[in-house]
A and B are shown apart, each in its own frame.
Chain A
Amino acid sequence: MASPALRALTVAALALPGLLPSPVRAEGDEFGFQYGRYEESGGPVSRFRSTGNSIHVDSLQASGSTRFFDRLKVQVNYSQDTWSGATPITTAPASAVNHIDNISGASVFWDVSRLAHFDPAKGVGTFLDAKTFRPGMTHETVQVMASASPETRKQGDLKLSYEWNEAALDIGGGNSIERDYNSRFFNLGGRLDFNQKLTSLTLGLSYTDSIIDSQRFSQRVISTPVLADTPIESRRLFPDWSLGVHDSRQDMALNLGLTQVLDKKSLLAAGFSYSNASGYQSNPYKESLFFAPLLAPQLLSPNPDTGLLSSLVFSQYDHRPQGRDQFTWSGHYVRHFDTVDGALHLDYRFFHDNWGINAHTFEAAWGQPFADGWIVTPKMRYYSQSAADFFRPYYVLDQTLAFDDYVNILLNGDRSKLKFPAHFSSDHRLSAFGTISGGLTINKQFAKGVNLEAGIEYYTHAGDFKLGGGGIGGYADFDYYLINAALRVDLSSSFTMAGGHGMHSMHGRHEHDEHSGHSAHGGHAPAGVMFDHMLDKADGFMVGYRYMYSLQDGDMLHGAHSTGDAAIVHNACGGGCSIAPQEMAMHMHMLDLMYAPTDWLNLMLMPQFMDMDMTLRRLQGGIDNGSGGHHHGGGSFGHETGGVGDTGMYALFKLYDAPGHHVHMSLGLSAPTGSVNRKIDGGEFIHYGMQLGSGTWDFKPSLTYTGQLERWSWGGQLSGTKRMEDRNESGFAFGDIFQTTAWGSYKLTNWLAASVRGVYTAQGKIDGRYIGPHGASGPMDFPASYGGQYWDMGFGLNATVPDGRLKGNHFGVEWLQPVKDDVHGYQLERDGALSATWGMAF
């Protein structure tokens, strides 16, 4: 089920989609990969709030670019983010809120009283201490938190650039998909150099079209259920009542830039951008609270003891203006200092929009190179913004209600007398505040065109940091850190050794042949086979990328045969099942890094990034066993998860090597870097198969034989996974795996080969079970319904670039077609799996 609390931060007017292309000089052939981790924390300590901010995000970016005809560059980018955690959903005076913190599960997260003991004029309210049952008074304001299931955004985009001697033109577009937000964007950019290329002018235009399709929270802030069958009497006080938002938004942007070389060691860049957003700008999940003071002695308002008034409370969904114009002016100065070979970067930016927000950004960085290709870059940033005109943490209606009004409104649902503002939002991102952040980035350039990067940034947000003071209260403070690790590979590195900078390209064509050395003996194994080859030159290095996709959406199986709902309901779940999986898709991205210290030993490191989604369906005649039941209500029905998977570390040993025949063995460990704690709505463990790793240290040996004769090549492999622990931290261990495979391949041309393969896999059941809350409503929640025996046929293609700039780059793709399944317990039938690989040896 889509996770409203997270989606609360998902849409919104604040992140401008698809803006402003960056016309860059075509630099050549490059592969890039980056992992990022965002971790938010903080949230002030308060007796009224025990849950801090805890949003965390795993990001993956992969990109590839290449040139055609020397002047045309094609660049492809893919990125995805998966996030979850606790985040603010509205803001309220502490005295008006009963349950301030989130409660796990999709039940009541919060509860704001309709009649609050809060006097808006004085800004004070009374509350009853939950422990001592003594009354108290408070001025405090708090953020109301909610927590939710993981959610993923994926984006793919493409850019074509054409380069002339003193100009460039680029055109690009892409698509970004989330459960509740889909945008398509298109951009066009150009660059003109003149004045002997000392001056460059750039122009960019972009257009983004976004569709918002969101399902509201199942509960209003003032606790009233948001369900199709909520009675009309309950809805009367909510004129904006709706189950979801189906709307659209368009963004157009214009970007002008000028870069000027000032002298031999400094340059200046100046930019201006304008963007116009129209359509839905609000956040469909957030609400604002409105307080109307009540003068009604019958209701003890004012209170005879304290003299404080009470107030009537109303809530409405976030409602911002439909249009927004934004302007940004920026300047960037870079200067080189000879004495230390360092570079100073200074950046200033001013932002203004017609919502009344003005913002200043100052940045300073120092790039310091060291010997052997190291560059260390510390960076500081300060940001300050004023609030949007219509922003308030909560609103006080400029009217006082009498007892008659109270009766008329609450009993008759007559809201006509109430005066709400035209636009309102309590999203703290529209408030006045400042932020300070600092970070460090370390780059290492290796001689063979490989660049590694690691960076960290710490960021702290506070109302008090606003330039000139007057920022939002400390209740909205938080901080985060963001780390990234990136790899860039110059695919034609033997021509341009130093990351594509033309100046270094004199390193010579004669090195080329040596760099493409690779020991696959002329034939690569099918893309789905891992550990299929070794590097046969000492000090050799290989970088590869592996993508695997698998889909299950067939029948429900019991053993080797299809089974009906009735059998599942009665047999698969002990106490009876109510739901079953309908579709399960898994995507895995893996980096292959391989190094050969000697010709008989290779070392491999394989970090993984996973994401999965599962769609569920109700079983006919299903039994609602109410076992903790996470809420599968509403229309959409499923879960997403994603993030870092387990990390493999392997050693490959050459055992036998003769002309046409080769045998090697790999011994390795899989480290449990993937989470086995993923939960739904922050409460119950998600289905076993949706966790990101095994949670256990695993031993992974394999033995591989490959052979070759003229155009034919063949091979076979035995491999296994042995869990070295009985239980992971969540209480279970996946079953051991044994796999055997054999293949044959035929070279169709000097660069293309086709392969056929057979695979047999056996996996044990899950051992143990979750320690902690876990809804057991379908077969995928039971350890006995995991593992089995599987037979597959694989059909693949392998291509190796035979010459030219990209010589030695290898691509492989294979489709694995299931032939037979014999599963343990009750499982969804497999549909197939796709593997795609790229690799390059140096």
Chain B
Amino acid sequence: MLLFSLGLCLAGCTTVAPWERGLLAKPHMALEPNHAQHALRGHAYGSREAAAGGDSAAGGGCGCY
């Protein structure tokens, strides 16, 4: 999948100049606009579902009420 994406890009998306990235820099275009909320919700999912992890939520311990 990584290679696929990379191939996809090298083939056709090398044309976005830095001054054309205004839309990409908008806050609601960020991959994760609300980090703290993301961590909080991730913590709740992690305490109720088996498929925790695979995410960038850093944190130790359990606290999995």
Mutual binders A and B: yes
Listed in ascending order, the chain A residues whose CB lies under 8 Å from chain B are 6, 9-12, 14-22, 32, 34, 36, 38, 55, 57, 59, 61, 63, 79, 81, 83, 87, 153, 155, 157, 159, 172, 174-178, 181-185, 187, 195-199, 204, 206, 208, 210, 253, 255-256, 258-265, 267-273, 275, 326-332, 334, 336, 338, 341-343, 349, 351, 353, 355, 357, 359, 361, 367-369, 375, 377, 383, 385, 388, 429-430, 435, 439, 441, 443, 445, 453, 455, 457, 459, 461, 480, 482, 484, 486, 498-499, 501, 503
- Chain B contacts with A in 21-60, Cβ cutoff 8 A: 21-29, 31, 33-34, 36-37, 39-41, 43-60
Query: Cα distance A443–B43 when bound, in Å?
Result: 21
**Cβ–Cβ contact B53 & A503, under 8 A:** no
Known contacts A198-B16, A258-B2; decide if A14 and B46 are in contact (CB<8 Å): yes
A155 CB contact (under 8 Å) in B9, B10, B51, B60? B60
**Cβ–Cβ contact A486 & B37, under 8 A:** yes
A361 CB contact (under 8 Å) in B14, B17, B51, B64? B51
Identify the interface centre among B10, B13, B54: most chain A CB within 10 Å of its CB. Answer: B54
Known contacts A14-B49, A383-B49; decide if A175 and B27 are in contact (CB<8 Å): no
**Cβ–Cβ contact A174 & B60, under 8 A:** yes
**Cβ–Cβ contact A183 & B25, under 8 A:** no
**14 pairs, A vs B, C-beta closer than 8 Å:** A10-B62, A10-B63, A11-B64, A34-B37, A183-B62, A204-B56, A258-B2, A258-B5, A258-B6, A263-B15, A328-B54, A334-B29, A359-B49, A435-B49
Shortest distance between the CB of A323 and any CB in chain B (Å) = 15
B27 contacts across to A, CB distance below 8 A: 375, 443, 445, 498-499, 501
**Cβ–Cβ contact A79 & B56, under 8 A:** no
**Cβ–Cβ contact A359 & B51, under 8 A:** yes
Known contacts A20-B57, A61-B36, A155-B59; decide if A15 and B9 are in contact (CB<8 Å): no
**Cβ–Cβ contact A9 & B60, under 8 A:** no
Number of interface residues of B (CB under 8 A): 54
Shortest distance between the CB of B40 and any CB in chain A (Å) = 5
**Cβ–Cβ contact A14 & B63, under 8 A:** no
The number of inter-chain residue pairs (CB within 8 angstroms) is: 273
**Cβ–Cβ contact A480 & B44, under 8 A:** yes
A178 contacts across to B, CB distance below 8 A: 61-63
**Cβ–Cβ contact B49 & A176, under 8 A:** no
**Cβ–Cβ contact B60 & A210, under 8 A:** yes
Query: Cα distance A696–B25 when bound, in Å?
Result: 48
**Cβ–Cβ contact A198 & B9, under 8 A:** yes
Which residue on B lies nearest to A336, using beta carbons?
Answer: B23
**Cβ–Cβ contact B26 & A326, under 8 A:** no
A369 contacts across to B, CB distance below 8 A: 26, 28
**Cβ–Cβ contact A16 & B28, under 8 A:** no
**Cβ–Cβ contact A430 & B50, under 8 A:** yes
Known: A270-B2, A359-B49. 13 other contacts (CB 8 A): A10-B63, A18-B58, A20-B54, A34-B40, A155-B60, A155-B61, A172-B58, A198-B14, A253-B53, A273-B55, A367-B28, A453-B37, A486-B36
Listed in ascending order, the chain B residues whose CB lies under 8 Å from chain A are 1-2, 5-6, 8-10, 13-18, 20-29, 31, 33-34, 36-37, 39-41, 43-65
Which residue on A lies nearest to B1, using beta carbons?
Answer: A270
A435 contacts across to B, CB distance below 8 A: 48-49
Query: Cα distance A302–B56 when bound, in Å?
Result: 56
**Cβ–Cβ contact B58 & A20, under 8 A:** yes
A-B interface, 6 closest residue pairs, ranked by CB to CB distance from nearest: A328-B54, A176-B61, A367-B28, A22-B56, A351-B51, A15-B64
Shortest distance between the CB of B1 and any CB in chain A (Å) = 5
Identify the interface centre among B58, B61, B65: most chain A CB within 10 Å of its CB. Answer: B61
**Cβ–Cβ contact A330 & B54, under 8 A:** yes
**Cβ–Cβ contact A15 & B47, under 8 A:** yes
**Cβ–Cβ contact A269 & B31, under 8 A:** yes
Which residue on A lies nearest to B65, using beta carbons?
Answer: A83
B13 contacts across to A, CB distance below 8 A: 198, 260-263
Which residue on B lies nearest to A197, using beta carbons?
Answer: B18
**Cβ–Cβ contact A264 & B23, under 8 A:** yes
A182 contacts across to B, CB distance below 8 A: 61
**Cβ–Cβ contact B1 & A14, under 8 A:** no
Query: Cα distance A821–B40 when bound, in Å?
Result: 42
Query: Cα distance A210–B64 when bound, in Å?
Result: 14
